[in-house]
Amino acid sequence: MLFGKKSGIKNRNRERYERVRRLLWIKCESCGKLVYYKDYKENKYICPSCGRAFIMTPKQRFDLLFDDNSWTRLTPPSVSDDPLAFSDRISYTDRLSDARSETGCYDAITTADGKIGGITTTVCVLNGLFMMGSMGRAAGDAIVAAIEHSIETKQPFIMVTSSGGARMQENILSLMQMARTTAAVNKLHNNGIPYIVLLTDPTFGGVTASFAMLGDIHIAEKGARIGFAGRRVIEQNIREKLPSNFQTADYLYEHGMVDMVVARGDLHDAIAKILAVLTKQERTPKQINVSTPAHDISKKIRGMGETEAYDKVLLARHENRPHFLDYIDGIVDDWTYLAGDRLFAEDSAMGSGIGFWRGIPAVIIGQEQGRDISSRQKHRFGMVNPDGYRKAQRMMRLAEKFNLPLISLFDTAGAFAGREGEERGQSQAVATSIATGLSIKTPYVAVNVGQGGSGGAIAIGTGDRVLMLENAIYSVIAPESCASILWKDNKFKATAAAAMKLTARDMANLNIVDEVIHEPAGGAHTDWQTTMELLAKSVTEHITELQQIPTDQLATKRADKFLAMTRDVEIYQPEHNSEHD
């Protein structure tokens, strides 16, 4: 019998059959279907039936990520194989020998140099096919060596993870790799080297609890499972069923742990865009070419005409006025949205990311209000939770690390007032955002593009230069609320607006803003093209000027500027009917 197998006796024909079968067909671990190897390879090792992404070998990863499949493998350091003389059902030495024979790799880490988007980069792959990608001394030494190579060559470092965690056969020696690799990552950050982590399926245990969660940018491959403890362990521990999407890439995105979820086929281009900004590649300024959304220009804005100040309030709130993402689409090239506070959640009310602002690589943040009912609910009308402000702080530190200018386009009625915000520390989040913005050593330009509402606005408004669109407003409270509290009647909102001195002209007179940016006749909502051209030009000029100032002087000058504000200010208050006080 050609493919028969006699019990207890090895059959060479059977072994040959198994080798051939593995070369021709792959069984999907997710749906159980057999996948023809050629289809499997052409589909980037993703099951065409269910979409499950198989673990890739280091060579396959390098071919996927590097330009033109061109790369040079680095030699890893060697270590003794079995320091603890560990043995379970079989010896650790035999397990290592089997893994090396099956994978052709010395251990779980393989490193190579190549170019991604033309930028020379070091890529380190934690191979899930080598003893489940477990991390022992050899893997730890290889990671440390790869990071030191990246620092020496000043090349961006990309870590690709697929692991079950620390290697049990090395016990405490494996556990110490969490500290050793973290120390190496700290050196990477201290030297200003871009560190991108690509989390693939599966990534768990001591790997996620150390170097894999310390990147500047975290990318989760679509379909990846990522966590600390395994799903079954958690369910047994808490005695309840977990959500079906628990510990998936999308789940981690929603909970603020990763910046983006990217399909395998899109990884090269996504990483190339990020590296271009972080390494400050040259870019020709993007041509601004936007059209103004159609709206009824004959429709009278309710409330207009009472006072000039309240007219500005209504224009700042106009439903057709451009918002954060509109400015990004119109002005910024190679935009990459970055998500999450790395603590609890992704807050879409706070937009954030990196891209080229008129050819200048920059970090850009700002509140997004949304345009229709659905998007306004999603973005919470631009009212940010603590998670969004903590994300903004992360972006501020990212800008400082790579000496990229920080641009904020603030536009909010105020920080979100709700139970969840209070539970998660809204006051602390706003305060820390103000403090972080005042202390970062990189150029910082803040622009009030609409509603500058209270602490929610100033949280991302403490720039070296603070600019303001002509019809924007800036105030500690909405004039309607002010009228209700002080005048005891909301109908005095226009009077309150005039008394509060909240217009751009008022801000300039009070030395709160450095420049008022003109808007087209009728307001920004009537002509997006002109508005964006004026805004882009002004911000670019201020960034260019700030880049001439030594970075170690910026924070001090910024603090001095705000310390000098409001001193010896005389404000004229218009008369109002005292019987309504």
Q: Of the candidates 228, 156, 151, 224, which has an alpha carbon nearest to the alpha carbon of residue 196?
A: 156
Q: Does residue 288 sit within a domain?
A: no
Looking at residue 13, its pLDDT comes to 60
Residue 472 located in a structural domain = yes
Residues 194, 200 contacting (CB under 8 angstroms): no
How many structural domains are present in the chain?
3
CA–CA gap between residue 79 and residue 141 (Å, rounded): 8
Domain assignment of residue 8, yes or no: no
Residues 326 and 426 in one domain: yes
- In this structure, the answer to whether residues 554 and 463 fall within a common structural domain is yes
Q: Are residues 405 and 480 in the same domain?
A: yes
Query: Looking at residue 497, which CATH number applies to its domain?
Result: 3.90.226.10
pLDDT higher than 60, residue 153: yes
Q: Tell the residue number behind the tokens 């290889």, with chain if given.
A: 142
In a domain, 293, yes or no: no
Residues 62 and 45 in one domain: no
| Same domain (yes/no): 30, 147 | no
**Within a domain: residue 389?**
yes
Residue 44 sits in the same domain as residue 128: no
Does residue 286 lie within any of the structural domains? no
Question: In percent, how much of the chain has pLDDT > 70?
Answer: 94
Lowest mean pLDDT segment, chosen from 218-222, 360-364, 415-419? 415-419
Res 409: pLDDT: 98
pLDDT mean over 44-56: 87
Question: Would you call 516 helix, strand, or coil by DSSP?
Answer: strand
Q: Is the pLDDT confidence value at 573 over 60? A: no
Domain boundary among 226, 258, 278: 278
Amino acid found at 255: H
196 class by beta-carbon count within 10 Å (0-12 exposed, 13-18 middle, 19+ buried): buried
- Which of 259, 278, 297 corresponds to the end of one domain? 278
pLDDT of residue 8: 42
CA angle 334–336–341, rounded 5-degree value: 160
- Residue 37 structural domain: 23-54
Same domain, 128 and 246: yes
Strands (E) across 96-138 are located at 109-116, 119-126
**DSSP three-state, residue 278:** helix
Structural domain contains residue 155: yes
Q: Which of 278, 295, 318 is the last residue of a domain?
A: 278
The verdict on 39 and 130 lying in the same domain is no
Identify the pLDDT of residue 485: 95
Do 391 and 503 share a domain, yes or no? yes
CA angle 441, 467, 398 (to 5 degrees): 30
pLDDT band at 298 (very low <50, low <70, confident <90, very high): low
Task: Determine the Cα–Cα distance for residues 315 and 216; give it in Å rounded to an integer.
Answer: 39
Do both 109 and 30 map to the same domain? no
Q: Are residues 148 and 260 in the same domain?
A: yes
Instruction: Work out the mean pLDDT of the chain and round it to a whole number.
Output: 92
Q: Which residue in 286, 369, 324, 295 sits closest to 523, CA to CA?
A: 295
| Residue % of the chain over a pLDDT of 90 | 82
Does the residue 2 lie in any domain?
A: no
* Statement to judge: residues 93 and 227 lie in one domain: yes
